[in-house]
Every structure is written in C-alpha cells, then in structure tokens.
Amino acid sequence: MTELTILGYCSGDSVLHKTDVRFKIACLIMISITTISANFWALSMLTLVLAVTFMHVGLSLTSAFKTLRYVFVLLMFIFIARILSSPGTPVFAFSKISVTREGIYDGVSICWRLLDVIVVGILFVSTTRSLEIKSAVAWLLHPIPFIPAKRVATMMSLVMRFMPVILDQARETADAQRARGVENRKNPIYRMSKLGIGLMRRTFERADKLAYAMEARCYSEERTDPALDSDSNDWIMLVFVMALCIAMTVV
C-alpha cells in the first residue's frame, strides 16, 4: 500500500491550500533569506507562526518526524561539529576537546534555522498540487530566453510527483530486503547496488507507464495551464509574511 508521505500533496481546506502558488513561492524565498541572519528572538517568532500554521494545515506530526529522521541525524552532526570547532569561553573540557558557550549558541541557532526552513518547505509542498507548481514555474520562467519554460515546468512537477513514490518504493524495497536478511551482509557495495537496482527497476517501470499514459492522453507542450489568479487574501498573506520578515530582522 502506498503510505502517504508528508513530502507529497495532502488535500485540505486551509488558508495555505487556497493561496496562489506564486505568493507561496515568494513567501518561501523571503522567509528562507531572512532566516540566514536571524537571532533567537526572530527564530522563536517564526517557530511560533510555523507551529500555528502547521496545526492549521492539519499535518501529522509523527509522519513529519518519520520522514525527517535522517535530517535530525544530519542536524546532530552539524551541532556537534559547531560545538567542537567554535573558539570561546569553555563550559567544560576533556583533555583536548572543549565545549564552548559560543559553540553551543552557534550550534543551536544553526540547527534551529535549518529546521525552520525545512518546515516551511514541507508546508509548501504539502499544500500545493504539482500542477500548480508547474504553472507557477512556467510563469516565472517564461520571460527568460533559451529556457523551454513549459518543459522545465512539466519536469519539475514530475519531480515533485515522483518524490513520494520513490521514497515509498525505497521503503518497500528496503523492507523486502530486510525480511530476506540483507542485514547479515556487511558489504556496503552489495547493499547499495541491490537497493539501487530494485528501486530503479521499479521506478523506471513506473516512469514508462507514466510516459505511455501521458502520450495516450495526447500530452503536448502547447496545453493550457490552470489559470493562476490571486485575490485580496493572497496580498494580505504576502503583507503578513513581509511584516514577519521585517520584524525578524529588526528584533
């Protein structure tokens, strides 16, 4: 069974679901730029807003944690590296390693920033249909010469469509291999190649089917995209996010 991963679209009726994609992309970019130089106060503010939005959209926290478990490992590495590499007043020290106050501060703020941006990305992806992403990308790219905007847009929406499929398939393949005792094999090349072959075989079959389906439905690049329209609510949200970003840089 295809389990719903949080990296795909989840249907719903929230404010974010109704907002125009272009506004959501603008907000996404603004927030991720603002977080680069945000301090603790700004991050707390953003986290509060995100938490409220997260609950409003109605995503499941457990599945978010499940999808992001590797991210947490990565964040931990970054945190440890920061703690050990920043000079400053030591909090405590073993022979050569010393943990500094500045290091802890740095580590926490960097991981917090990354986590906030990840949550923003998740909110975007889970409230936006890939068709909408596609038309927004085409809209963004069409003034740029030499880029086939429509094809790029199609490819990008396919990427977002394939992502959850691949993650599901990878889990299925890994489970199947675990059931057959792959964990007794210590050779990482064997495990990587067997996982890769299983995963790619299946997903390429899926891609083939998709290509046939697109062709059967007379896919061409000259098709009409869904109309993008914005209303006053979108502007209100944009102004709100702008105010949030300005507040974050000021505090």
Chain residues that interact with another protein, rule: CB under 8 A: 7, 25, 28-29, 32-33, 36, 67-68, 70-71, 73-75, 114, 117-118, 120-122, 124-125, 133, 137, 140, 151-152, 154-156, 158-163, 165-167, 170, 188-189, 191-193, 195-197, 199-201, 203-208, 210-212, 214-215, 219
End-to-end Cα spacing for the chain: 48
157 sits in which H/E element: helix 149-179
CB-wise, 15 or 195, nearer to another protein? 195
Closest separation in Å from C-beta 192 to another protein: 4
Closest separation in Å from C-beta 84 to another protein: 13
Closest separation in Å from C-beta 137 to another protein: 7
DSSP H stretches of helix in 6-100: 15-18, 21-35, 40-57, 61-67, 69-85
Four-residue CA torsion sign, 197, 121, 33, 228: positive
CB-wise, 216 or 232, nearer to another protein? 216
CB-wise, 33 or 91, nearer to another protein? 33
Closest separation in Å from C-beta 134 to another protein: 11
CA distance 92 to 139: 55
CB-wise, 100 or 119, nearer to another protein? 119
Closest separation in Å from C-beta 195 to another protein: 6
- C-alpha angle 164/170/173, rounded to 5°? 140
Closest separation in Å from C-beta 208 to another protein: 7
CA distance 103 to 42: 19
Rg (CA), the chain: 22
**Number of neighbours of residue 222 by Cβ within 10 angstroms:** 5
CB-wise, 57 or 92, nearer to another protein? 57
CB-wise, 92 or 218, nearer to another protein? 218
90 sits in which H/E element: strand 90-93
